[in-house]
Structure 1
Amino acid sequence: MSAANDALAPAGELTNFARARRRFFGNPAAVIGVVIVVSLIFAALLAPYIAPYPQHAGSFVDFRSRHQAPSLLHLMGTDNVGRDMFSRVLFGYRVSLLLVVGVLGVAVPLGVLLGLLAGYFGGIVETAIMWLTNVMLAVPPLVMALAISAVLTPDLIHSMIAITALWWTWHCRLVYRVVKSVVAEDFVEAARVAGASHLHILFREILPNCTAAISVKTTLDAGFVILFGASLSFLGLGVQPPTPDLGTMVSAGAQFLPEMWWEAVMPGLAVLYAILGFNLLGDGLRDMLDVEI
């Protein structure tokens, strides 16, 4: 059934998926979130082709064009060495999305696995995993990330390590809570009676009941990972110049406030745009899948 037919059909005739899709596309904020996230992905992938000055993403200097205000020639103005801010923002999205993929690509599977084990086996396994999780959650996230980044050489890989070191905890707690609510259900008991292995029960019976919550949480987390990465770069402990990074650009532009406001405001708005997109998309998925995070 197509999306157009879904919109016309009575609610009682729709499948569960079609009803969920109708709720999602009937939410204007969710649709805006999709548009923003898709535009971010395309901007990152096509940056070398759509950036008006792709050479400005590297070690480029043009002091005759420094501190130019936003105009048709430079949509976001230029920075203190004459580089086009719009071009650097497009390339900066590449760094931000790489950070999201790197951090969540490790933190989500790790947190999900530990949450599954703690919720399913209970006993000493549950105690050990949840004790470690609670200890990590007690540490302020930004302080932990700053400590790790300060010890390691500041770059993109080490920023990923710093953020991943604490990000798995929230996914572990989320999955643990879901598993504890379904582990005593009849379908799990039936699988045990049928002689199913622990691996089968964990990954074929229990994990599918967690996927909705994991999907929503991961989408919402993407925006916060971008914010964390920008915060580390703003403090000089993330991606280093001349690599274009949104946090580094805000930090460099803050030195020239308020006269050259665009040098800090434009990359700041770019961070806001990315976070807004992922948050709207995550809220739309939460309403569509009807889950609590």
Structure 2
Amino acid sequence: MSAKNLPQTAAEADIETGLPLDSDAPPLSAGYMTWFRFSRNPAALVGAFIVASVILVALFAPLIATHPDHVGAVVDFRNRHMPPSADNWMGTDKAGRDIFSRTVFGFRVSLLLVIGVLGISVPVGSALGMAAGYFGGWTERLIAGFTNVMLAMPPLVMALAIGNVLEPNLTNAMIAITLLWWTWHARLIYRVTRSIVSEDYIEAARLAGASHLHILWREILPNCISVISVKTTLDAAFVILFGATLSFLGFGVKPPTPDLGSMVADGRQFVPEMWWEVLAPGFAIFYATLGFNLLGDGLRDMFDVET
């Protein structure tokens, strides 16, 4: 539903819901209208539920995992390659470790990767994009030129090169992904800022004597929040996939830390006989990325922005 079709007053909202009309009802708030648009999108609600469930599982992993001790350097060769059972809900791997427990903790590793990468990429990229779009001139040429150079490098090749030089672990995986991830945020916020600086209220702020920092922080940034929120949510899915790819290729999180990508890599050599060894972590990757993508699409429709 587009913004022009949204109810503007409670009386018009009653027409939508079938409730009695109230011609004296006050106008609806912008927050209510935004939530109304989001709540009318079933896919967005499903995405929000999936993301919430992934976060809760990651937070309470020690309580949810049936064999939390199997997360570390534990081996039980007598129970290796066991199919799903009452004791091991998703079977065991080549070392006899419970796959369900390791998958649960794998969510935690994936979310830590998302927080680490986007926690750096989003502020850095947004700040550079706003600076280039607002100041223009040599600042714009310098930032845009450096961003284009970084964008010319294939992300996976760059990440593999860094992963090959540094020791495989979670921190270095974050570094490898972050070095290029900020560029897309910088380019997006640059375009948004260029469209904002031509608005009358920006010129009014300049004439009123507002500083550059005030205009960037109080006038431009709030108008970029919706775009940043959508982009960040969609990027979370790509970071999970990217991190799983690095681990699958052996350049991500170092064993025995449970990572979804490395679990798929370990189990693929035993497919199709031990199919459960790749099914659980593979489905976990699909589940998490699906949730963030659906939520990101819902936020994009709710804010009615382009990314």
In the alignment, residue 251 of structure 2 is paired with which amino acid? Answer: L
* AA matched with 2:231: K
Unaligned runs of 5+ in 2: 1-9, 17-25
Which stretch shows the higher mean deviation, 16-25 or 170-179? 16-25
Aligned counterpart for 1:83 among listed residues 86, 97, 104: 97
| Unpaired segments ≥5 residues, structure 1 | none
User: Within the alignment, does 1:108 sit opposite 2:139 as a pair?
Assistant: no
Of residues 192, 196, 200, the one that matches 2:214 is 200
CA shift digits 1:183-216 (9 cap, x unpaired): 0110000000001000001111111111100000
After superposition, the Cα gap between the structure-2 partners of 1:54 and 1:6, relative to the gap in structure 1 and judged at 3 Å, is: farther
Q: Specify the alignment match of 1:50 in structure 2.
A: 64
Tell me the amino acid that sits aligned with residue 32 of structure 1. Answer: V
What is the distance in 1 between the residues matched to 2:46 and 2:198?
A: 39
Change (3 A) 1:115 1:78: same
Deviation at 1:106, TM superposition (A): 0.4
Q: Does the 8 Å CA contact 1:6/1:18 hold for their aligned counterparts?
A: no
Report 1:58-207 matches (<5 A).
Answer: 58-207=72-221
User: What TM-score results when the alignment is normalised by the length of structure 1?
Assistant: 0.95
Alignment: residue pair count = 289
1:226 equivalent among 207, 216, 240? 240
What corresponds to 1:214 in structure 2? 228
Aligned to 2:267: 253
Residue of structure 2 aligned with 1:264, choices 268, 278, 285? 278
Counterpart amino acid of 2:237?
G
Q: Using a 3 Å threshold, how does the CA distance of structure 1 residues 7 and 40 change in structure 2: closer, same or farther?
A: farther
| Cα distance, 1:14 vs structure 2 | 2.6
CA distance in structure 2 between the aligned counterparts of 1:212 and 1:10, rounded to whole angstroms: 29
State the identity %.
Answer: 64
Distance 1:71 1:7, change over 3 A: farther
Q: What letter matches 1:111 in structure 2?
A: G
Paired residue type of 1:211:
I
Of structures 1 and 2, the larger Rg is shown by 2
RMSD between aligned alpha carbons? Answer: 1.6
Q: Secondary structure at the match of 1:255?
A: helix
